[in-house]
Structure 1
Amino acid sequence: MVLLEKYEALKNYFKELGSVAIAFSSGVDSTFLLFTAHEALGDNVIAVTASSCSFPKRELNEAKDYCKSIGVRHFIVESEELEIEGFSHNPPNRCYLCKHELFTKIFDLAKKEGIAYVAEGSNLDDNGDYRPGLQAVKELGAKSPLREVGFTKQEIRELSAHFGLPTANKQSFACLSSRFPYGETITEKKLGMVDKAEQLLLDMGFNQFRVRIHGENVARIELQPKDFERMLDEELRLRIYDTFKDYGFAYVALDLRGYRTGSMNETLNI
């Protein structure tokens, strides 16, 4: 199936639903999902974004701006993960706890607004990693159209570029809680440290990376290998180190393997 045919299949998927609430993070996948749903259903689509200390303000603002630009009704729900029992201890099923709480709120909102279905933006590439959040999505009955129709991340990026979506080349993002090793306590202070550290790297022109936090004050930077040489520039390197120190980090390390999604899952025996 060529990409535009697959896109039409996705539109038809939404037309069969009739109305849908999209869990919208302003990322690559959910932006493409919302765009397609809006093309198929018009005003019968709403977007729902969670506001929490693990979701950077820049992402929330981008979500607001995009919904406004295409005329989609946008709802923001408070989803403070640190108040969920057990979440701050960062157990391996942390994402399950978060997604279950969030999607319960989205379903309640959808019902209130007369919307028949709830959908989220996972794609086929998400099938290969440990993602307990998808278990919660399935249990609650949310739809996963991109996986069901068979979209990969690359296909989503290609179609996003074709339709001129602002996220076509946007870096992949996961909530800031994913920067912590399992079993280490997640706090608002440490989430803020990671958020500021990643914003600094974005402002410096790095595109795809993670800043992982270990203990109270160790930062482990994952960069794409092609960016290693740039990080070795002395002026840049020392600026990053000094600024991270200002944010509360005592030690700043570069991960020699480089950027990869789900690196905290590498220590799990699953």
Structure 2
Amino acid sequence: MSADSAHEFEKANRLIDRIASLRSVAVAFSGGVDSSVVAAAASRAGLDVAIAVTAQSPSLASSQLEIAIRVANEIGIEHRVIETDEINQDAYRRNDGRRCFYCKQTLYQAMAAIAEQFPQLKIISGTNVDDLGDYRPGLEAAANAGVISPLADLGFTKSDVRELAKHFGLSNDDQPAAPCLASRVAYGTEVTAERLRRIEQAESWLATRGFTEFRVRLHDRELARVEVPKHQIAELIHLDTDGSMTNAFLSYGFKFVTIDTRGFRSGSLNEMLVSISIPATPLSIHSTGESES
């Protein structure tokens, strides 16, 4: 066994042992790499109960739900898909910077109902150390609900998680981060099911054309701000030479389409939460002909 393999094996055992000490767990399972690693470790921990729980709502892309179902099946862990109703909450829809708190609060309340069915069942998440450095009000909801984060507890970073995903043989080990669709809606712009569907359609359009890292951010007045890695911006411009992207996005209900020349930046909407920020410099803006006074 190589030194790298031995190191990965040691990390995996530490995670499995940590989860085994909890005896019974329900994993908040999005199908992303972090929660998949936690679910994979839980399935190997010899627990009394191990359940992966995925919340289905308008903010979850259908492609992400498909990944969650597939990966849970590969892992061999019991998987429950539950309906959550955060979209019906005024506090969530108004999107004032605390949206993630209300979303996670709703999720953990729904998971608590499952936990009541089993003695001493603990709710655990895929939060890792790197997640603690960003603005994530969902972590407050997790703390309030007593959610345990074994990856963060062990000091594991996103890089460690990728290593563990490969170690466990997960098919989504190289999957880019896929936060919920609502995270694309600019703070202060109301989150609606229709807007979330529009974002999902636009991002699906990019995915079917070979892009793997991207975001379609929705701003006031139904503006789509498209982020792809800087080295792919020229490719995106070329792709839209005949207006195919612009026309598609307008057909989904956007009024304007702009390409962010700073490129893909995870969590870029959090820049709006600070008092001083540098506005995106759009390469081009296309409209339906309506005035933007």
Shorter chain as denominator, the TM-score bin is: over 0.9
Q: Which moved more, 1:249-258 or 1:13-22?
A: 249-258
Mapping of residues 81-96 of structure 1, within 5 Å: 81-96=86-101
In the alignment, is the contact (CA less than 8 A) between 2:240 and 2:246 conserved in 1?
no
Partner of 1:152: 157
1:35 to 36, 40, 48: 40
Say whether the 8 Å CA contact 2:23–2:48 is kept in structure 1.
no
The separation in 2 between residues aligned to 1:252 and 1:182, in whole angstroms, is: 18
Q: Which runs of 5+ in 1 are unaligned?
A: none
> In structure 2, do the counterparts of structure 1 residues 80 and 237 end up closer, same or farther at CA, with 3 Å as the change threshold?
farther
Greater Cα shift, 43-52 or 130-139 = 43-52
* TM-score, structure 2 as length reference: 0.87
**Residue 21 of structure 1 contacts residue 115 of structure 1 at CA under 8 Å; is this kept in 2?**
no
Q: How does 1:95-110 map to 2 (within 5 A)?
A: 95-110=100-115
CA distance in 2, matches of 1:172, 1:54: 15
Corresponding residue number in structure 1 for 2:243: 238
1:2, CA displacement in angstroms?
A: 3.2
Residue in structure 2 matching 1:52, options 57, 62, 66: 57
Asked if 1:249 corresponds to 2:254, the answer is yes
Q: What residue ranges of structure 2 are gaps of 5+ in the alignment?
A: 1-5, 276-293
Query: Deviating runs (4+, > 3 A) in structure 1?
Result: 234-237
Q: Check whether the contact 1:20–1:116 (CA below 8 A) recurs between aligned residues.
A: yes
The CA deviation at 1:114 is: 4.0
**One-letter code of the match for 1:175?**
C
The within-5 A match list for 1:20-31 is 20-31=25-36
1:18, 1:44 within 8 Å by CA — same for their partners in 2? yes
* Partners of 1:231 and 1:237 within 8 A in 2: no
**Partners of 1:250 and 1:217 in 2: CA distance:** 5
Correspondence for 1:203? 208
**CA displacement at 1:236 relative to structure 2:** 6.5
The answer as to whether partners of 2:49 and 2:121 remain within 8 angstroms in 1 is no
Indicate the structure (1 or 2) with the bigger Cα radius of gyration.
Answer: 2
Would you say 1:117 and 2:122 are equivalent positions?
Answer: yes
| Cα deviation digits, residues 175-226 of structure 1 (max 9, x gap) | 1111111111111111110011011111111111110011242100111112
Once residues 237 and 98 of structure 2 are traced to their aligned partners in structure 1, the CA distance between those partners, rounded to angstroms, is 37
Q: Which amino acid aligns with 1:224?
A: P
Q: How many angstroms apart in 1 are the aligned matches of 2:205 and 2:48? A: 38
Distance 1:80 1:10, change over 3 A: same
Q: Which position in structure 2 is the counterpart of 1:72?
A: 77
C-alpha separation in 1, matches of 2:43 and 2:239? 48
What SS does the corresponding residue of 1:192 show, helix, strand or coil?
Answer: helix
Of Structure 1 and Structure 2, which has the larger fraction of its residues in helix? 1
Aligned residues with identical type, % of pairs: 37
For normalisation by structure 1, the TM-score amounts to 0.94
1:80 Cα deviation after fit: 2.0
Q: From 257, 274, 277, give the equivalent of 1:269.
A: 274
Measure, in 1, the Cα distance between the counterparts of 2:139 and 2:101.
7
